[in-house]
Structure 1
Amino acid sequence: MAGTSKAAEVKPEAKDGPQPRSVRVVLFALMIAMLLAMLDNMIVNTAMPTIVGELGGLEHLSWVVTAYTLATAASTPIWGKIGDMYGRKGAFLTSIVVFLVGSALSGMAQDMGQLIGFRAIQGLGAGGLMVGVMAIIGDLIPPRERGKYQGMMAGIMALAMIGGPLVGGTITDHLGWRWTFYINLPLGAVALAMVTAVLHLPKKRGRGRIDYLGTALLTVGIVSIVLVTTWGGSQYEWGSAIIMELIFLGVASIVGFLFWETKAAEPVVPLHIFRSRNFSVMSVIGFMTGFVMFGAMLFLPLYQQSVQSASATNSGLLLMPMLLAMMAVSLIAGRVTTSTGKYKIFPIVGGALMTVGLYLLSTMDVSTSRLTTGIYMAVLGAGMGFLMQITMLVAQNSVELKDMGVGSSTTTLFRTLGSSFGVAIMGALFTNRVNDEMASRLGKAAGALPTATLNAEGLKKLPVPVQEAYKYAVSSGVHGGFLLGAGIALVVFVAAFFVKEVALRGAGTPAPAAPQDKDKAEPEAKEAKEANEAEDKVAVETA
């Protein structure tokens, strides 16, 4: 291939055999990068009370998280497109550097305004970490073999969710809150060095220009949507002027973006990827799965602390039945997919188990034991395990290699937006149910209680009747939130039946042509095969 070094023309070992040791080294580095992206918020959330105590600015507290989330969501599709146009390795290394710069600056922040700004820089880098990991794996490993690595990804997620609060609390207590950001530097440096030394992909020359107008419209649309879901019902009433303005701005920007993408020479999100039924269905399933998963992660610790009297640390450990079930099932599903090439059954079973698990969780009340809760969580975790990585695998299998970056970033973006909607909508429903239940049990006195900050320790300081009222209120709120989640999971179950089981590609196998392009199928298949074979000439060398 022109412009490709001799090293880049060395093919990896047989695709159906064990991956070379150097590929495993690259995967280890990618897992570190994924851990950075997922662990950060978990660690920082634990340190927030200490940060506010030192820097002040309690009224801006939510922006520490919001700035990071907005930057991550807005930059995700952009990183994917840059990787497709100019090379995945360079884009990925740049995102790591941006993330580390943001981490270092956040650790040095002297006031809340600086911290918010530096967290936005950190979020810009984080947007490229997850997309880079998924797209590089998509380049290195054929879909048929990719399933076996799903357990690794699920394991990283479980490690971040379980270990984040523990690590964050320990670092804050013994080293200070600034080290919750500095801890990213050595981990990121290891990932940076390993990826630089070991990963070699064919270099790409930029084709055309970056779609600046499409990028701007998409960014405004995403920021508006995330702000609506973050502010609506909390800082501002849903019917307030600012929320209505944000909704109008978000809708107008997305409509303008969709129109422009049909005209752009090099669209940031090429709409033709949605011609694939599987890609479109997996985008919907990813959105709904994000909605359910992050909503559950919000309510379960709250229920365990308020109703089951668990400490903040223990409530994180009590999530282990869900996280371990998710990891184990994801690993099994991945192995089966690799050995058989079959996958349609997994989203169907996953949707069914998620629906059942969320319904069971909605039945919890003040007398539900931790063991029973653990069993219900395991059912939910098993359902998510069938879905978490299969959605990305099938989505990547549905696009050509030249669109691997935007395919991965679009799937990630849908899941991110789903999590934002899930936390906002389920959170609003929960809050309303809690307030109504408290008012019905305590009358006007309920309005004077800081129910949003009550935990196991805070409850013990209140009179017994108030404690009981709050526990019943939380149980009622959880019931409504998880019942809504069960309805959303049912949509996943139904949508899964529309997945078409297309054979997972091995090395050099082209992506399937879109149904409406059958007349072009043969030449496009030949072109895709040639491109695939060229990109499969990947050199992955040991340092």
Structure 2
Amino acid sequence: MSPRDAASTDPADLRRLFFRVFPAVGLAMFGAALDQTIVAAALPAIARSLGEVERISWVVVVYLVATTVAAPVYGRLGDAFGRRRMLLVALAMYGLGAALCALAPSLNLLALARMVQGFGGGGLISLSVALIAEVVPPRERGRFQAWIAAVFALASGFGPVAGGFLTEWLGWRAVFLLQPPLALLAAWLAVRRLGGAAPGVSKGFAFDWPGLLLFALFVAPALLALDFARRLEPGALAAAAGLAALAGLALFLLWKQERAARDPLLPLAVLGNPSVWRANLLSALVAGAFVGTIAFLPIYFAAVRGLSPAASGVALLPLAVTAAFGAMLTGRLLSHTGRTMIWPSFGLAFSAVMLAAAAVFAGQLSVAQLAGLLGLVSFGFGTSFPMVQVTVQAAVGRERLGSATASVQFTRALGAATGTALMGAVLFGFLVAQGGGAAELFVALVNRGPSALAALSDVAQAEFRAGMTSAFRAAFLTAAGLVAVAAWLTTRVPLQRI
């Protein structure tokens, strides 16, 4: 079931192989992608239920740390012991963690359960994509990208709606109870459908435990530093600086360890490949702009446009969904032309221009017009998604397929966290500069929702909305800058054709 075998088959056989594998890996990917949106809808209810609003971000941060640490572990173990076996391990941990989340009586135990769930979720996407790569040769992967993109589009659109409905009618614990059955079904399909997956090459393999420890000591402080830094308070900034120093020291020691390890967790020869690190860097920049925009737009729609949570979710749908169509288009173009980075170079440049237009005209556009404009931005983002994955996989070959695929997920996670922190810092900084308590209102709005503005007079609300509009203009321009750099990087990736 390797790409070499698939390459010798005719299109009908290739489709048959793909659709034998896809139900299992597609459901696993759906579960992982769904978690990113469905849990966000339940956060306010979780905060009210457990009574710790100021620490609710840990539900997201702990999961993100765990998935980021786990991604290269699954990639390396999948190469050594087989990706089907490791996918079953990941599904088991993901389902167990979700069940523990549903039963958690306190925020501390919920965060611990989210860590368990994250250690499972970290392998679902990277292992699934790598399993598809075993079946489909590089140039033909674009032909089936529409199905992969459709999974993420469905999860992005279904997540906020399902999360809001389940939370409102059944309580926030129902959001987590939905996930174990999905994991169980995906595991059953994996056993039935993935029997021909490569078993891996484990002879003489020695897992890099020191590398894993140092990697965790880098990722956790780095992500926590970003979480503290976006608060822009003296105490939080001091903590962020200390955590950043610890992350930097761990990164230096990790680099030394990986150079000496026989079977390194992070193979430097792979990550140092110019096509790999440049593709991953541009992917991180796009993820930062994409996730940061999605994270803060609900606040804009609520505070400035006065939308309800349900209406905000509808307004966000074009941004969340249309990236899939950009991925579908470039996937087909890849299979016809063999060209990789030329398509995202146009798509990302287009997105940067549209984000700049959103910054300039945010105050004049209606909600529908702004949602449509953001849909165009998302379409441009989507042109880069399949090209990064295919480029990285083609650059390293089959022996390091899992590690290379996991590197994309890892850099996207770090990019998403960094971009969200940067956009949050820009928003908060502009509100602090305006004075008049705008920054404090912004924090209250994040924590309590639109009710935080109820006590303000009409004049004060109008002034706050004007300040928020200016701050979001700056945030849109920040996102445009990130995407513009990503567009430039597409021209610097050596592997331009496969």
TM score, norm. by length of structure 1: 0.86
Is 1:388–2:382 an aligned residue pair?
no
Q: Which residue of 1 aligns with 2:199?
A: 203
Q: List runs of 5+ in structure 2 lacking aligned partners.
A: none
AA paired with 1:212? W
Is 1:469–2:463 an aligned residue pair?
yes
Q: 2:221 aligns with which of 213, 221, 224?
A: 224
Q: Give the Å deviation of 1:125.
A: 0.4
Q: Which residue of 1 aligns with 2:74?
A: 79
Is 1:51–2:41 an aligned residue pair?
no
Q: Which residue of 2 aligns with 1:416?
A: 413
In 2, Cα distance between equivalents of 1:269 and 1:295: 27
Is 1:156–2:151 an aligned residue pair?
yes
For residues 332 and 444 of structure 1, do their structure 2 counterparts lie closer, same or farther at Cα, with a shift above 3 Å needed?
closer
Q: Give the Å deviation of 1:448.
A: 7.1
Q: Which residue of 2 aligns with 1:186?
A: 181
Secondary structure of 1:262 counterpart: helix
Is 1:215–2:212 an aligned residue pair?
yes
Q: Which residue of 2 aligns with 1:536?
A: none
Q: Which residue of 2 aligns with 1:166?
A: 161
More displaced 10-residue stretch of structure 1: 200-209 or 188-197: 200-209
For residues 33 and 235 of structure 1, do their structure 2 counterparts lie closer, same or farther at Cα, with a shift above 3 Å needed?
farther
In 2, Cα distance between equivalents of 1:15 and 1:249: 51
Q: Which whole-Å deviations, capped at 9, do the CAs of 1:373-428 have from their partners, x for residues lacking one?
A: 13321331121011122111111111121100110111111111000001111101
AA paired with 1:484? T
In 2, Cα distance between equivalents of 1:473 and 1:57: 28
Q: 1:350 aligns with which of 335, 347, 352?
A: 347
TM score, norm. by length of structure 2: 0.93
Q: Identity over the aligned pairs, expressed in percent?
A: 26
Q: 2:478 aligns with which of 484, 507, 525?
A: 484
Task: Give the alignment of 1:87-98 within 5 angstroms.
Answer: 87-98=82-93
Q: Give the Å deviation of 1:301.
A: 2.4
Secondary structure of 1:398 counterpart: helix
Q: Which residue of 2 aligns with 1:361?
A: 358
Secondary structure of 1:343 counterpart: coil
AA paired with 2:224? L
Secondary structure of 2:89 counterpart: helix
Is 1:339–2:319 an aligned residue pair?
no
In 1, Cα distance between equivalents of 2:2 and 2:30: 28
- Count of residue pairs the alignment pairs up: 494
Aligned residues of 1:366 and 1:471 also touching (Cα < 8 A): no
Aligned residues of 1:341 and 1:503 also touching (Cα < 8 A): yes
Q: Which residue of 1 aligns with 2:369?
A: 372
Aligned residues of 1:310 and 1:456 also touching (Cα < 8 A): no
Aligned residues of 1:350 and 1:384 also touching (Cα < 8 A): yes
In 1, Cα distance between equivalents of 2:316 and 2:478: 20
AA paired with 2:479? G
Q: Which whole-Å deviations, capped at 9, do the CAs of 1:132-170 have from their partners, x for residues lacking one?
A: 112111212111111123222322222222221210121
For residues 361 and 112 of structure 1, do their structure 2 counterparts lie closer, same or farther at Cα, with a shift above 3 Å needed?
same
Q: Which whole-Å deviations, capped at 9, do the CAs of 1:306-333 have from their partners, x for residues lacking one?
A: 2222221221221233344322221111
AA paired with 1:17? P
Aligned residues of 2:431 and 2:439 also touching (Cα < 8 A): no
Q: Which residue of 1 aligns with 2:488?
A: 494
Give 1 or 2 for the bigger CA radius of gyration. Answer: 1
Secondary structure of 1:151 counterpart: helix
In 2, Cα distance between equivalents of 1:445 and 1:285: 34
In 2, Cα distance between equivalents of 1:118 and 1:324: 29
More helix by share: 2
In 2, Cα distance between equivalents of 1:109 and 1:403: 38
In 2, Cα distance between equivalents of 1:81 and 1:358: 37
